[in-house]
Structures are given as C-alpha cells and as structure tokens.
Amino acid sequence: MANESKGKIGRVLGIYTKLINGCLVRKEEEAADYGVNERSIQRDIEDIRRFLEDSTVGSGYADSLVYDWKRKGYRLEQIYNAKLSDSEVLAVCKILLDSRAFTKKEMTGILHKIISCCVPEDNQKEIRELIANEEFHYVEPRHKTVFIDTMWKIGQAVRHSQYIEMEYVRSKDKSRVKRKVQPVAIMFSEYYFYMAAFIEDEAVRKDFDVINDSFPTIYRIDRIKKLRVLEERFHIPYTDRFEEGEFRKRIQFMLGGKLQKVKYVYSGIDIDAILDRLPTAKILSEEDGKYVVEAEVFGKGIDMWLRSQGEDVKIISKIYKN
C-alpha cells in the first residue's frame, strides 16, 4: 500500500509539473509512461483539479484545468488574479462610504466583511486605518431603513419576471398606496436604491405624467413598507425588454418623465464633468471656450441639474421625442 501511495503521489506531482510548465497532458500517454490504466490517470487529474479549486480560495489565484478538444489533452488556463488587490479594496470602501446608502450598522458590517475576505491579514489593519475617520463620521440616510432583504426579493422577482404587490409611501404627500407592478430593474443613484417597474392598472397610470408603457415608474426601495412577490408571471418580448444600462444614461436624480432631447451652451471650466454627468451628451461645436452640447434624457431631473449650473449653462432647446 505504501509503495502504491508513493507511486500515486509521484504520478500526480509529475503530471502537475507538466501542466504548470505549459505541457499538454494526454491520458493514454501518461498511462503508458507510468504503467497504469487510463482510469488511474483520470483520478489523478481530478485530484489536481480539486487541489486547484481549493488553492484559489486561499491564494486568490486561479488555474483552470481544461480539456483541449482540438489537441486531445488537458492543459492549464492562464493564471489570473481572482481576488481584489488592497488598493481595489480601499477604492471600493471609499465609494461605499461616499454612497451613504446604508444604515451605519449595515455599512460597518459590509466594510469589515469586504476587508476580512479580500485583504491578507497582515494588511487589514492598514486598510481599516485609512477608512477609520470616514467610518467614524459616517452619516447614515435619514430614512434609517434596513432594506437589503427587500432588495434581494425584488432582484429575484426581476430575474424570474414575477409580479410584485407592495405598499409604498409616496414622497409628495407621505400617503401609503398599494401597487401591483412588473419589476424590471434595480438601480442606484444619489444615496438611494430604486426599483424600476411597469404599472398595468390604467386607473393608477392616468395620474402619471408618462402613460406610455416604454417608460417605467421609479420607486425608492426604502419607501416600500410591505412587499409580496407573486407566483404570477409577466412576459415582455425580447425586443421590448427594459435595458437599465441605457435607461441609466438618460435619467437624472431618478425623476421619471418623457424622453427628450436637450441642447444647451456650456461655458464653465470643466466640460469633462458635464459629459460624465450626462453619458448621452455630445459636443456639437466649440468656440472660445463655449460648447454647444446635446443630450438625450428622461424626465424632469434634467431641469434640476441644468438650474444647478447657474450661468454656466444656457438652454437652446428642449424637444420631446415620441
């Protein structure tokens, strides 16, 4: 038994050495070299595969043992870094703190989990010290609502195209309303998470500025007081599917409304900041430091943003699109 075990260890190490040196491993060739059957070599390969999977968790580096059908043998895929670097963890923590999206207790828990999971133990103290002041002075949102579980339920409903029934607190009069909606996306903007959803009830929709089904209604998730995911499912044709990435480019402050094209003159000092704020913006012309810019946007949020720019922005035209 000892000799058999020693033989197996030698085979596994030999095959592993070939793989890490970039060689192709064929079962029939290895079986002939080691004087065993191909089933033994297959078990050796599976042992190596399990070792690689286990080592990924601890080291942060991953090798994939794959079968190359063209060359009829096993090889290692290129090594890549599967963990965040210390600098990436620091950047993520800073962004999270600046988002102010969660209660202080939630934020502290999330930050500490990220650092513990992604940063080597020797470096964790350094990362924590770099965010300690911001974490101590962190100001949680005024709603003080814990909504992560609700957001997860919404995400599952979006994924499986299931209707949602909810009680929602409206912002304009703080009254509770009941809604049955088709959830299509979860988005984040300006300290809050939102659900984009379609309303089927014509009696409800008549009070909205936007009636066309192609424009979803936006709900702040922290204002959802009761939520039930229904077994009932809805269907949106693939060609009409909601694309949150494209929608997100065109909406400001998560205020819904009709699609419009806005043209304005910008005379401030940082045109890049303007283009980053409005991802659909295009410079039509530039003369003496004044830029004529056009952007396609949804809703009334653009009006708030344009007013916030003061004399740096002068509107030329606003055209609603059908």
Confidence of residue 211 (pLDDT cuts 50, 70, 90): very low
The chain-wide mean pLDDT, for the chain, equals: 86
Percentage of the chain surpassing pLDDT 90?
A: 57
How many Å apart are CA 125 and CA 7, to the nearest integer?
45
Q: What pLDDT is attached to residue 254?
A: 77
Q: How far apart (Å, rounded) are the C-alpha atoms in residues 301 and 277?
A: 12
Over residues 64-103, the pLDDT tens digits come to 788 989 889 999 876 555 567 899 999 999 999 999 999 9
Over the stretch 23-75, which tens digit does the pLDDT of each residue have?
A: 999 999 999 999 999 999 999 999 998 888 777 655 555 677 889 898 899 99
Give 253's Cβ-side CA count (13 Å radius). Answer: 11
Q: For residue 208, name the pLDDT band (cuts at 50, 70, 90).
A: low
Average pLDDT over residues 220-229: 96
The C-alpha atoms of residue 217 and residue 185 are separated, in whole angstroms, by 11
Q: In the prediction, which pLDDT does 2 show? A: 45
pLDDT tens profile 122-149: 889 999 999 999 999 999 999 999 999 9
The secondary structure of residue 280, as a DSSP letter, is T
Q: What's the pLDDT score for residue 210?
A: 45
Helix residue spans in 137-260 (DSSP H): 148-160, 202-205, 244-249
Nearest Cα residue to 118 out of 52, 56, 60, 55: 60
Q: What is the mean pLDDT of residues 314-322?
A: 84
Identify the CA nearest to 116 among candidates 103, 129, 128, 99: 128
Report how far residue 246's alpha carbon sits from residue 262's, in angstroms, rounded to the nearest whole number: 17
Determine contact, residues 103/140, Cβ cutoff 8 Å. Answer: yes
- Residue 306 phi/psi, 5-degree rounding, is -60, -40
Structure tokens belonging to residue 171: 């912002």
